[in-house]
Amino acid sequence: MEKNKFSPIKGIVVFIVFMITFIPIAGRIQGALGMPGVAITELIILFVAILSPIILKQDLRLVFPIRVPKLREILGTILIWIGTFFVVMIFQVALMYFFQEGMMNVVNDLSKVISSVPFIVAFIIVSIMPAICEEALHRGFILANFKPVKNKFIIVVCMGIIFGVFHTDIYRFLPTAILGGALSYVMLETDNMILPMLFHFINNLSSSFANFSSNSVDVNTILSKEAILLVLGSFLTFGFFIPVLLYIGSRLLKASEEKRKIKGKHLIGVFGLGLILFILGTFIVGYLYVNDPNILNTLSK
């Protein structure tokens, strides 16, 4: 019965119809009202997420599974978020190298919207509401309809693409797709909406803190290619820890004790990949310093 009720086609069709009808409306609401408009659109997303399975006569307990998470699951989710955060930062810096003006425009626009209201208001609209509303749609309704697909990798990739498209920005597509994939992985491993909501909340909260703790980014600030490469190299150097964080986090999410065991052959791959990232980052930073010992000064220009 479950296979007959859930289908990837249903999730994808609803998502396409939602995007076609929602985007023009959301754009007008947010353009006219600013941050309050963002709150309204988040509530619309939640409404669609709940209404869709009701219309399709799907079991809401299967669409939105909720239970008190275990401490190891919370820790695993946090570790995966940290690892994913560094992955996203690496790709964002790489994108800035090729599309600096576009990326700076995105950052500047987001910063202006978030800083247009007091922190507590931004905290609710930017951190809490998306963690509930967007997760209800993506890790709830849409992901539930991918239940018949047995390959987790395919589901993670598809959900990542859907989450990237959802944000309707070519410059944000890859970073948000990576986040969407990580969020979906957490949901698949735990079958508990609380954990991807926690992941989403922490991710958005960190962005809010970063915005309010620094001045708004000036889109006219142009970094040299060398300065951007220096930042990229620095992130890659710290990238040694990314595979470790993701691997340990994934083990903590596993349901059975047997699957949670750390295996030697896995560690070889984990540390090998981390070492590759470290060497690549060290090479980039070292190369830049050799060619220009004053490279750090370019960051302040």
pLDDT, one tens digit per residue, over 3-22 is 458 999 999 999 999 999 98
Answer with the residue of higher pLDDT: 70 or 296.
70
pLDDT of residue 103: 86
Q: How confident is the model at residue 298 (pLDDT cuts 50, 70, 90)?
A: low
Q: How confident is the model at residue 136 (pLDDT cuts 50, 70, 90)?
A: very high
pLDDT of residue 213: 66
pLDDT of residue 217: 47
The predicted model gives 227-244 an average pLDDT of 92
* Residue 49 in this model has a pLDDT that exceeds 60: yes
The predicted model gives 76-89 an average pLDDT of 97
Q: How confident is the model at residue 76 (pLDDT cuts 50, 70, 90)?
A: very high
Answer with the residue of higher pLDDT: 47 or 212.
47
* Residue 219 in this model has a pLDDT that exceeds 70: no
* Residue 276 in this model has a pLDDT that exceeds 80: yes
pLDDT of residue 95: 93
Q: How confident is the model at residue 216 (pLDDT cuts 50, 70, 90)?
A: very low
The predicted model gives 287-292 an average pLDDT of 84
| Predicted TM-score (pTM) above 0.85 | yes
The domain locations on the chain are 2-213, 223-301
Mean pLDDT of the chain: 90
Provide the percentage of residues in the chain whose pLDDT is more than 70.
93
The predicted model gives 26-38 an average pLDDT of 89
pLDDT of residue 178: 97
pLDDT in tens, 175-215: 999 999 999 999 999 999 999 999 999 999 998 887 766 55
* Residue 148 in this model has a pLDDT that exceeds 70: yes
Which of 142, 180, 125 has the alpha carbon at shortest distance from 64?
142
Answer with the residue of higher pLDDT: 169 or 289.
169
